[in-house]
């Protein structure tokens, strides 16, 4: 049995009201898709109309935001009086687009505006006191923050004391005490009544721009779509409207810098999607602030010069390539440092680039299903700085808030946190988190929850159905790509693909219908299939090649029912990865322990079946690795069945190679006997290979034959020196217990090492052959 990586939560089917079913029929929407819409809150004709065909009428009045009128008046006055205005942004994609929107809106009404994006490595996130001082000294008379500001008390207080108004526009979590700003535009302002509180920073900036210009600035919607998608805010309600219209603006608009970036990213402008933005455009903009200064992002979005746009976009691409290389290197190094058996992962090393540690932590968390903190250590080996990513079961912010005193800087939310702490405190943090899991009885062994929208039959995965799923777009947070589960399917033609064979391609089959499937980064699990029946979860898409269209499943997770035997016989097979957790390596010969390099693995040297089974239970082992061959193959069956094990890895290493070498021929025994009678003594510790070459007998076989002679009393061996016995009693070879054991071992090796895996599978668990 192979457990799923995630804990699957399948939505229960709902009996849809007749009225809604009629609406679905009129819209020609598949009832399966109707279930998904219903569960996502689309439960009326009006809601469905807004969902399918949103318009500007579905956007809320910007003046519903608290202090919007006061804000607009102050900006208009600043423009009228020729004041120098500063837009203070952030270094991520949301910050870049927010800054661009606010800058261009003020310029449209004739304002003199500058912008500043802090460097994460120098000024850090949010209003910086030193920057505010410098800007005010340089003549700035009004400061407008975008995508930050609600936590910038120190810098904002300073500006206020200097007589400089600060307008805060932000969307981040509100602190208990708001800063002393001139106004604060926030969709969740405690004194406001805005109907939708999930705007991104660029969404808030767009609302200010709309109020300031007195009309909807549709030319900014491309930027709003990028920032909203990049910041992973809820793609429902007003955000859905903004993004849907924004994607259309990207496809038809003429923002030169964005067009060049789209072209260099090898995307089709006319078919740009939220997926393209989330996985291609946003990472490029984010790479700027992760590695250095993010200002080129604003320059790109505001330029009217195509040559300059090409220069900046090329630079952004190079930064993104460098970012990917850094992430790949650190991820590899970080994986080498983790203990796969630990309930949480904290890894730290000197020289890691702090700008990408959140990405690395996220990748390890996704791969292992465990909370992960990745830290870089300074050159003095004193301070560690980095990021953490968590799973839904553990609120990382709350758990670490209990030991705030261990950190120099700390902040975050449920799923993520950033921190700086003394290197000496890393161990304390790890111990606290492990203890927190125990005290709060948080079980991470079940994996993160995965919501599954529908259970489908393979025959349901048709091209028309998959095409109709597009009405759910734009997809993202709170409106995710639907997950479908296909239960009790067979997997056929499974093979590894990709340059490094890191991906899988196969077909799932059910009642005569087949569906192509691809599983990225699952190449090392190719052996999981082909045993038992499989449940597979994934997203449906259409694969187009050479003008042909075929349904395809993008696999997210899978489980396999029933018992599984993994064939690791042979040197090449032994290189395959074995899960470390809940795994027990069993040896029948103490010498065989040297055959496994992993010193951290749980090991057990066989004594009796009863004691071995008790060791399995004590260690909470769920899968066994039989490293070598026992003398009796039935021992494997007894251990497996008594231990109620459903996953077995069979290496079956035989150092003696009894089956291959046999017991020796009558002529070989006669030759050895003659040689022994002719020698006074032979030092078999150092001369064995010489004797083997002289007699032309394979060395391992010669050792066995000498053991038979010793067992029958033909020779003595003391301190590695073999001597003949004068006038020994005559015994047939078959009287030797060593010889009899060898015969039994030959049968065992023949069965365990040379039988088909399927035969061993059925034998090991007493299954009927099929």
Burial of 91: CB neighbours in 10 Å, binned 0-12, 13-18, 19+: buried
Helix (H, G, I), strand (E, B) or coil at 545: strand
- 264: Cα separation from own chain's centroid: 27
Write out pLDDT tens, residues 180-235. Answer: 999 999 999 999 999 999 999 999 999 999 999 999 999 999 999 999 999 999 99
Distance CA 82, CA 80 (A): 6
Write out pLDDT tens, residues 54-98. Answer: 999 999 999 999 999 999 999 999 999 999 999 999 999 999 999
Distance CA 513, CA 725 (A): 74
Distance CA 708, CA 705 (A): 5
pLDDT of res. 770: 38
Tell me the Cα Rg of the chain: 34
Strand ranges for 532-618 from DSSP E: 534-545, 548-560, 564-567, 583-587, 602-605
Distance CA 602, CA 629 (A): 18
Q: Which ranges of 407-484 does DSSP label H, i.e. alpha helix?
A: 426-439, 463-468
Helix (H, G, I), strand (E, B) or coil at 260: helix
Distance CA 749, CA 654 (A): 8
For residue 143, which phi and psi values (nearest 5 degrees)?
-115, 130
Place of tokens 């994609």: 93
pLDDT of res. 768: 58
Residues facing 10 on adjacent strands: 452
pLDDT of res. 417: 87
Strand ranges for 64-191 from DSSP E: 84-88, 112-116, 142-146, 165-169, 183-185
Write out pLDDT tens, residues 21-47. Answer: 999 999 999 999 999 999 999 999 999
Q: Is the preceding peptide bond at 474 cis, omega within 30 degrees of 0?
A: yes
Place of tokens 């040559």: 307
For 430, the token pair is 């790890």
Helix (H, G, I), strand (E, B) or coil at 454: strand
Distance CA 116, CA 109 (A): 20
Domain boundaries of the chain, sorted by first residue: 7-40+450-560, 58-319, 344-439, 564-655+751-764, 659-735
Place of tokens 């800087």: 409
Q: Which residues contact 770 (CB under 8 A, 6 or more apart)?
A: none
Distances (CA, A) of 19 to 22, 35, 42, 46, 189: 5, 14, 13, 13, 38
Strand ranges for 131-269 from DSSP E: 142-146, 165-169, 183-185
Identify whether the C-beta of residue 97 lies closer than 8 Å to the C-beta of residue 202.
yes
Look at residues 83, 231, 261 and name the one whose alpha carbon lies nearest to residue 170: 231
Distances (CA, A) of 1 to 5, 8, 495, 530, 565: 13, 16, 20, 12, 9
Helix (H, G, I), strand (E, B) or coil at 232: coil
Helix (H, G, I), strand (E, B) or coil at 663: coil
564-655+751-764 fold? Rossmann fold (3.40.50)
Identify whether the C-beta of residue 367 lies closer than 8 Å to the C-beta of residue 524.
no
* Range 344-439: architecture per CATH: Roll (3.10)
Identify whether the C-beta of residue 235 lies closer than 8 Å to the C-beta of residue 477.
yes
Distances (CA, A) of 295 to 111, 286, 353, 480: 20, 11, 20, 31
Distance CA 609, CA 601 (A): 21
Helix (H, G, I), strand (E, B) or coil at 487: strand
pLDDT of res. 279: 95
Q: Which residues contact 696 (CB under 8 A, 6 or more apart)?
A: none
For 179, the token pair is 């800063």
DSSP 8-state code for residue 406: G
Distance CA 286, CA 277 (A): 12
Look at residues 493, 480, 471, 576 and name the one whose alpha carbon lies nearest to residue 29: 471
pLDDT of res. 560: 92
Identify whether the C-beta of residue 229 lies closer than 8 Å to the C-beta of residue 275.
no
Residue 345: its H or E element = strand 345-350
- 284: Cα separation from own chain's centroid: 20
Q: Which residues contact 348 (CB under 8 A, 6 or more apart)?
A: 374, 375, 376, 377, 384, 386, 423, 426
Number of residues that make up the chain? 770
What is the DSSP pairing of strand 84-88 with strand 484-497? Answer: unpaired
For 178, the token pair is 């708001």
Helix (H, G, I), strand (E, B) or coil at 334: helix
pTM of the model: 0.84
Distance CA 763, CA 770 (A): 12
Q: Does domain 7-40+450-560 have CATH number 3.90.1640.10?
A: no
Residue 474: its H or E element = none
Q: Which residue ranges of the chain lie beneath pLDDT 50?
A: 769-770
CATH no. for 58-319: 3.90.1640.30
Q: Does domain 659-735 have CATH number 1.10.10?
A: yes
For 729, the token pair is 């009693």
Q: Which residues contact 64 (CB under 8 A, 6 or more apart)?
A: 192, 193, 194, 195
719, 723, 726, 732 alpha-carbon torsion, rounded to 10°? 100
Identify whether the C-beta of residue 65 lies closer than 8 Å to the C-beta of residue 189.
yes
Distance CA 180, CA 162 (A): 13
Identify whether the C-beta of residue 485 lies closer than 8 Å to the C-beta of residue 50.
no
Cα angle vertex 498, ends 492, 502, to 5°? 75
Distance CA 436, CA 181 (A): 39
Residues facing 550 on adjacent strands: 543
| Burial state string for 350-389 with b = 16 or more CB within 10 A and e = fewer than 16 | eebbbbbbbbbbbbbbeebbbbbbbbbbeeeeebbbbbbb
Residue 8: its H or E element = strand 7-10
Identify whether the C-beta of residue 604 lies closer than 8 Å to the C-beta of residue 612.
yes
Identify whether the C-beta of residue 209 lies closer than 8 Å to the C-beta of residue 102.
yes
């Amino acid at each position: 049995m192979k457990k799923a990586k995630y804990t699957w939560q399948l939505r229960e089917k709902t009996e849809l009201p007749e009225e809604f079913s009629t609406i679905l029929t009129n819209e020609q929407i598949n009832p399966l898709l109707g279930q998904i819409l219903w569960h996502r809150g689309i439960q009326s004709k009006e809601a469905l109309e807004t969902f399918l065909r949103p318009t500007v009428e579905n956007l809320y009045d910007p003046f519903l935001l608290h202090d919007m009128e006061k804000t607009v008046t102050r900006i208009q006055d600043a423009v009228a009086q020729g004041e120098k205005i500063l837009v203070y942004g952030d270094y991520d994609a949301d910050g870049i687009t927010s800054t661009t929107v606010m800058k261009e809106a003020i310029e449209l009404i004739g304002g003199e505006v500058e912008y500043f994006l802090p460097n994460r490595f120098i000024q850090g996130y949010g209003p910086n006191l030193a920057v505010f001082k410098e800007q005010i000294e340089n003549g700035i008379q009004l400061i407008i923050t975008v995508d930050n500001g609600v936590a910038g008390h120190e810098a904002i207080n300073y500006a206020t004391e200097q007589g400089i108004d600060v307008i805060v526009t932000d969307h981040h979590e509100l602190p208990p005490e708001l800063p002393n700003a001139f106004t604060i535009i926030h969709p969740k302002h405690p004194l406001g009544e805005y109907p939708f509180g999930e705007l991104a920073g660029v969404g808030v900036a767009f609302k200010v721009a709309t109020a300031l210009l007195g009309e909807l600035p549709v030319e900014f919607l491309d930027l709003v779509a990028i920032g909203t998608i990049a910041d992973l805010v809820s793609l429902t309600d007003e955000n859905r409207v903004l993004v849907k219209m924004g994607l259309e603006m990207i496809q038809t608009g003429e923002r030169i810098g964005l067009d060049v970036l789209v072209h260099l990213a090898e995307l089709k402008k006319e078919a740009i999607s939220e997926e393209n933005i989330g996985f291609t455009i946003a990472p490029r903009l984010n790479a700027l602030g992760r590695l250095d200064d993010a200002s080129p992002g604003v320059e790109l979005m505001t330029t009217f010069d195509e040559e300059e746009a090409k220069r900046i976009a090329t630079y952004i691409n190079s930064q993104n390539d460098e970012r990917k290389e850094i992430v790949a290197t650190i991820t590899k190094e970080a994986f080498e440092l983790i203990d796969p058996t630990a309930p949480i992962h904290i890894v730290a090393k000197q020289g890691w680039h702090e700008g990408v540690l959140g990405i690395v932590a996220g990748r390890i968390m996704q791969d292992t299903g465990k909370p992960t903190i990745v830290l870089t250590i300074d050159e003095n080996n004193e301070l560690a700085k980095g990021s953490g990513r968590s799973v839904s079961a553990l609120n990382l912010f709350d758990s670490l808030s209990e030991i705030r005193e261990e950190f120099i800087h700390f902040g975050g939310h449920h799923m993520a946190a950033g921190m700086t702490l003394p290197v000496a405190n890393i161990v304390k943090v790890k111990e606290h988190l492990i203890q927190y899991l125990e005290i709060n009885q948080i079980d991470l062994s079940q994996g993160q929850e995965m919501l599954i929208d529908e259970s489908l039959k393979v025959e349901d995965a048709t091209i028309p159905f998959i095409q109709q799923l597009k009405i759910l777009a734009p997809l993202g947070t709170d409106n995710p790509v639907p997950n479908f589960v296909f239960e009790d399917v067979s997997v056929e033609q499974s093979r590894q693909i990709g340059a490094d064979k890191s991906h899988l391609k196969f077909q799932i089959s059910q009642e005569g219908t087949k569906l192509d499937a691809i599983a990225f980064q699952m190449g090392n699990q190719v052996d999981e299939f082909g045993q038992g029946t499989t449940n597979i979860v994934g997203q449906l898409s259409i694969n187009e090649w050479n003008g042909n269209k075929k349904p395809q499943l993008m696999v997210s997770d899978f489980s396999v029912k029933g018992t599984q035997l993994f064939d690791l016989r042979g040197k090449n097979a032994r290189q395959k990865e074995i899960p470390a957790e809940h795994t027990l390596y069993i040896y029948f010969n103490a010498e065989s322990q040297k055959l496994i390099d992993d010193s951290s693995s749980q090991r057990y040297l066989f004594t009796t079946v009863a004691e071995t089974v008790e060791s399995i239970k004590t260690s909470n082992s769920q899968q066994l690795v039989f490293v070598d061959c026992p003398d009796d193959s039935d021992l494997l069956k007894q251990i497996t069945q008594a231990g109620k094990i459903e996953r077995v890895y069979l290496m079956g290493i035989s150092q003696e190679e009894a089956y291959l070498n046999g017991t020796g021929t009558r002529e070989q025994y006669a030759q050895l006997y003659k040689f022994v009678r002719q020698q006074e003594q032979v030092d078999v510790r150092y001369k064995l290979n010489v004797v083997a070459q002289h007699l032309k007998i394979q060395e391992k076989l010669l050792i066995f034959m000498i053991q038979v002679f010793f067992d029958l009393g033909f020779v003595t061996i003391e301190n590695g020196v073999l001597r003949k016995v004068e006038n020994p009693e005559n015994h047939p070879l078959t009287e030797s217990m060593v010889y009899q054991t060898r015969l039994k071992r030959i049968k065992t090796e023949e069965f365990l090492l040379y039988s088909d895996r399927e035969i061993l599978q059925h034998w090991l668990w007493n299954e009927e052959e099929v």
